[in-house]
Amino acid sequence: MTFLDKYDLLKKSIPVPAVNIGTVTVGCEYVDYAYASKNCYYCFDTYLLTDSIYSTIAWGNRLIDCLSVTESEKCYECIDCNKCYSSSYLLDCNNCTDCHFSSFLNSCTDCFGCVSLTHKKYCIFNKQYTKEDYIENLKTLKKQNPKKIFSQMLALKQKIPHPASQQNNNENCPYGDYIYNSKNCYWCFNSYYCENCGYIYTGGIMKNCWDLLFSGGSVERKTTFERCYECFDIDSSYNCAFLATCTNCTNCFYGEYLRNCSDCFGCVGLTSKKYCILNNQLTKEKYEKALVNLKKELGWRV
């Protein structure tokens, strides 16, 4: 029986949680993959999310019915937005405040039904107004059917060119979409604060990582995520590969549901362990010797 066969049997023999909730997540109901979140309901794939409901891939405060919204607050029905405040019905917007029914806005305030504007204020369907006229027109618009307003904005959106890739404050990130505050990244999506990374989907606060899904470092614990490969749902780890649903691990490979572990190979469901192979405790010397043979079996360079 090969190592991978033994590892597969071990995974099937150990019970694992039905949902994945971080240790610092409190007051949340009907959530999954929720980390460092508080008072959330029906939210999924969240990080540092508080007082929110019905949101997915979310990071912020008081978000309702939002999808892929990060570092934002008091937003409703927003999709793919970053650093927005007190806004609703936005698509692909960055650094906006009190904007509604709009798309592809950057650093705008008090805009309604607008498309592809930058550093604008008091605009309605891309037409400039004075503050007084804007407020007066807004009273009438707010009484209209939201579906009708959204349709008007989408009709305007079809007429105005917009970027093929949604990015903000990046350097040398030529391929990918929804990338924020990153540098030297290739083929990344829904990624933020990444450096020298590739093939990342929904992750952030990381360096020198490749092929990751729903993974990243931690702002509240001031930890980063470095030198990891082929991982899923990993938090604050270093020099790891082929892990799933693990937190704060170092030099771990082929593992699932590990917490605060280092130098573990082919392990499942361990906490604060070191020098383990297939959940068996070894001395440092025996672990290092066995690791050489395992890497040869798996075709690794030794």
pLDDT for position 245: 95
pLDDT for position 222: 64
Burial of 11-38, coded b for 16+ CB within 10 Å and e otherwise, reads beeeeeeeebbbeebeebeebbbbbbbb
Q: Left (φ > 0), alpha (ψ -120 to 50) or beta: where does 158 sit? A: alpha
Say what the pTM is: 0.91
Query: Quick count: other Cβ atoms within 10 Å of Cβ 178?
Result: 22
pLDDT for position 28: 95
From residue 104, alpha-carbon distances to 25, 30, 47, 67, 242 in Å are: 33, 32, 24, 16, 37
Positions of the chain with pLDDT lower than 70, given as ranges: 220-223, 302
pLDDT for position 221: 63
pLDDT for position 204: 93
- Using CA atoms of 108, 194, 47, 16 in order, give the dihedral in degrees to the nearest 10: 160
Q: Where are the domains of the chain?
A: 17-65, 81-162, 167-297
